[in-house]
Amino acid sequence: MHSDRKNFGGRLWKAVDKVGKLFSKAPFIFTACTAVIVVLIVEMLSRHSVWQGFVFLFTHPVRYITNVMIVLATLSLSFLFKKRSFFVVFISVVWLAFGIVNFTILGYRPTPFGIIDIQLLPSVFTIINMYMDSWQIILLIVGAAAVIAGLAFLLMKVPSAKIVWKKTLIFIAVSFALASGLFLLVASTGNYAESMDDNTDIAKAYRDYGFAYCFCTGVVDKGIDEPEEYSKENVDRVVDSLGDVSEPQLKPDIIMVQLESFFDVGYLDDVTYSENPTPVFTSLKEEYSTGFLTVPSVGAGTANTEFEVLSGMSLGFFGMGEYPYKTILKEQACETVATDLAQIGYASHAIHNNTGTFYDRNTVFAQLGFDTFTSIEYMQDVEYNPIGWAKDSVLTGEILAALDSTPGQDLVFTITVQGHGKYQRGEDTDEAEMEDTTWEEDPDDGRAFAFYISQLRETDQFIGELIDALEERGEPAVLVLYGDHLPNFSIGSEQLENGDVFETEYVIWDNLGLEKEDRDLHAYQLSSWVMERLGISQGILCRYHQQWDGSESDDYWYGLGLLEYDMLYGEFYCYGGTNPYTASNISMGVKPITIENIRVEEDGVYITGNNFTEFSVVAFDSELQDTEYIDGDTLFVEGEPPDDGMYVSVAQVTDRAIVLSESDGIIYKEKTE
C-alpha cells in the first residue's frame, strides 16, 4: 500500500513536471490557454451545466473572450515573480474557487456570487450552520486545507525562473489593455443595460455576460455615477418644485413590518393547499389598502429591500449587486423615514429577531436615524423553528414595548426572520411541519416547500396576534406589512399569476378609518405612500415621490437619480450645501438592563437584576466571564467572586463574541465579618 501511494505520488509529480516544462517553453501561450480553460470551467459551474458552458462559448464569443482576457490579465501578474508557474496555478485556483463558491451559492439562492459577498463574510459565518450540516462544514474545511497544503507543496517544488522584465511588462500591459478595452466595449454595446434593468436581475446578467465580467463589474461599479448636468441649479430646480411642507393631518403610531420571504402562495400555478396558509393576510387585503410591491431582489437581499423602503431611494442607480449597508452607509448618514418623522416629534425604533450585527445593522441603523435597535440579543423567551431561526411570535411583545417606551408617537420598523431559508427537505423533515400540498417537481423540494408553508402560516398567525394587540392597546396606529422578497425556490415568473418574481405584496392596516385605496408600488415608494395617506410630507424624497404620484417617466427617473447622487455622493445642494444628518446616538434595546445585587455563594456568584437574556454575559472590570443564564432576573458565574472594588456589569454579546452594549454596573464590595 505504501508503495502504491509512493508510485502515485511519483506519477503525479512527473505529470506536474511535464506541465512545468511545457510552461517554460511557451509561458505566454500556456498562460493564455490556462485562461481559456479556467473561464470555461467557471462558466460550467456558474450554469450548473457542462453543455451550457460550451453554449456560452459558441453563442457569445466576444463576451467569452472578454472573460478570458479578464482572467488572463490577472494571470499575467504571475510573471512578476520568479516562481511564476506557481502563481499561475494559484491565481487559477482562486478563479476556480470563485466558480465553486458561485456553484454552491446558486444552490441556496438565485443571486450569483459577487464581491459584496466577500464583504458579507462576517455575517455569513453567523448563519452557515443554517445552510450546511456539520459534516459538510468539516468537508469544506478539510478541502480548503488540502488545497492550501497542495499549493504550499507546489511553491516549494517549482523551480524559479529569470524575470525578463521587458517581455513581462509588455505582456502585462497588453493583457490589461485588451481586458479593459473589451470590458468597456461590452459594457457600451449589446443589451447589457437591458439585462441589468434596475440592477435587479443580476442572475440574468451573469448568464448573459459571464462570471468574470460581472464579478469585476461589481468590483469597479460602486455607488452612484454623477448624473449628466449635475449642478446646484438643476438640484434646486427639482427641490423648489416640491412645494412647502404641509401640516400633518394625522399622527398615529406607525409600525412597519418587513416579512421575511413572505408572499401569497396562491399566486403559484400547479400547487394546491388543504387550506389557505395565510388567512389573516388574505382577509386584510380584502379590507385595507394593498397592492403589489416591486422589490430589488429574489430569494435573498433582505437589507436592500429594507434600504429602499426606509430611504425612498432606488437601488437601480447603485452598482451591480451593491448593498449600501456595506458601502456608503458605513461612513455617512442619510435622510430616511425615521429622520423625516423625527421632524414632527416621532421617536423611531428598529426591531429584528436575529443577531444585531447581521448586515452591520447595529451601526447602520444609527446612520439611518433610529433612536433604538432591539435585536435578538435583547429578547426574552425566544422560540426557534427546526432550522434555528427565531420564531416571529416574540416580536409582538417587542413592538408593544417599543411603543410604550416613549410618551409620544413612534415609528417601529420591524424585520422578521422565521420564514428564512434554508428550508428543511428530505426524509428527515419533521412530519409535524408538513402541510397537505402537491408538488410536481422533486419530492425533496416538495417537502421543503411544505416546511416553508408551515413557517408562513405561523408568521400569518403572528400578524393576527399583533393586530389584536394593537386593537387592545387602543392608540391610533397604522400597520404596514410587506414581503421583502420571494422565498428561495426555483420559481419563475411564468409560474406566477402576477407574472413577476420581483413582486411581493403589501397591506396597510389601520384603526383610523382610512379609505381603502389599492396601488402597485416600488419598495422605494412605499413609505412616501403611507405618509401621503396620513397627510405627512416631511422629507425631500418623501415629497418627491408624492409629487410624481407613482409616475415612472424619464423626468421622474432623472430627478430621482439627481437627488440620490446629491444626498449621498454629491455636494448636498438639496440641503443648502451641508448634510444635515449625522449618526444618531442609538441605544440597543428599549428595556434597561440593570444589576440590583451581587450574591456570592459556595458554588459561585449570582447576579440579580432586570431584563437579562440568554445573550447576557457578566463582566468584571469589562472582562467577560463564563456566564450561565438562569432567568430574566438572574445570571450565574461559576468560580471565584470579583475582587474588592471591581466594576461588575452585564454585556449583551452576540454568538460571535461581539459586545453590542454594556449595562451600568455596580462596584463590588467584599463583605467583612
* Burial of 135: CB neighbours in 10 Å, binned 0-12, 13-18, 19+: exposed
Q: What is the pLDDT of residue 7?
A: 58
Q: Which run of H or of E encompasses 147?
A: helix 134-157
Q: What is the pLDDT of residue 112?
A: 85
Interval 47-69 mean pLDDT? 93
Between CA 559 and CA 463 the distance in angstroms is: 37
Give the confidence band of 105 by pLDDT, cuts at 50, 70, 90.
confident
Lowest mean pLDDT among 215-229, 399-413, 571-585: 215-229
pTM of the model: 0.85
Interval 207-226 mean pLDDT? 88
Q: Cell 418574481 identifies what position?
A: 501
Are 647 and 657 within 8 A, CB to CB? no
Q: Does residue 535 come out as left (phi exceeding 0), alpha (psi in the -120 to 50 range) or beta? A: left
- At 426, list the grid cell: 428530505
pLDDT digits (tens, 9 = 90+) for 82-92: 888 899 999 99
Q: What is the pLDDT of residue 598?
A: 93
Model confidence at 290: pLDDT above 50: yes
Q: Mean pLDDT for the chain?
A: 88
Interval 385-414 mean pLDDT? 96
Q: What is the pLDDT of residue 446?
A: 76
Interval 379-389 mean pLDDT? 93
Which residues fall within 8 angstroms of residue 189, CB to CB, at 6 or more apart?
Answer: none
Give the confidence band of 443 by pLDDT, cuts at 50, 70, 90.
low
Lowest mean pLDDT among 141-150, 328-337, 487-496, 517-526: 141-150
Model confidence at 527: pLDDT above 90: yes
| Interior/surface letters 82-93, b for 16+ CB within 10 angstroms, e for the rest | ebbbbbbbbbbb
Q: Where in the chain is the domain with CATH 2.60.40.10?
A: 592-667
Query: How many percent of the chain have pLDDT more than 70?
Result: 88
Q: Higher pLDDT residue, 428 or 223?
A: 223
Give the confidence band of 553 by pLDDT, cuts at 50, 70, 90.
confident
Q: Where in the chain is the domain with CATH 3.40.720.10?
A: 245-587
Lowest mean pLDDT among 28-37, 54-63, 180-189, 299-308: 180-189
Q: What is the pLDDT of residue 450?
A: 87
CATH of 592-667, one of 1.20.20.10, 2.60.40.10, 3.40.50.880, 2.40.160.10: 2.60.40.10
pLDDT digits (tens, 9 = 90+) for 585-626: 999 999 999 999 999 998 999 999 999 999 999 999 999 999
**φ/ψ of residue 531, rounded to 5:** -65, -40
pLDDT digits (tens, 9 = 90+) for 628-642: 999 999 999 998 889
Q: Cell 408572499 identifies what position?
A: 263
Cβ atoms within 10 Å, residue 509:
22
Lowest mean pLDDT among 102-106, 331-335, 648-652: 102-106
Between CA 142 and CA 150 the distance in angstroms is: 12
Lowest mean pLDDT among 267-271, 442-446, 478-482, 638-642: 442-446
Model confidence at 192: pLDDT above 50: no
Interval 133-147 mean pLDDT? 76
- The candidate with the shortest Cα–Cα distance to 253, out of 477, 479, 538, is 477
pLDDT digits (tens, 9 = 90+) for 468-482: 999 999 999 999 999
Model confidence at 1: pLDDT above 80: no
Give the confidence band of 124 by pLDDT, cuts at 50, 70, 90.
low
Give the confidence band of 22 by pLDDT, cuts at 50, 70, 90.
low
Residue 83's Cα: distance from chain center in Å? Answer: 40
Lowest mean pLDDT among 51-55, 217-221, 542-546: 217-221
pLDDT digits (tens, 9 = 90+) for 335-359: 999 999 999 999 999 999 999 999 8
Model confidence at 196: pLDDT above 60: no
For domain 245-587, give the CATH superfamily.
Alkaline Phosphatase, subunit A (3.40.720.10)
Q: What is the pLDDT of residue 191?
A: 46
- At 257, list the grid cell: 413590518
pLDDT digits (tens, 9 = 90+) for 220-245: 778 899 998 899 999 999 999 998 88
Lowest mean pLDDT among 9-18, 128-137, 253-262, 526-535: 9-18
Interval 165-186 mean pLDDT? 92
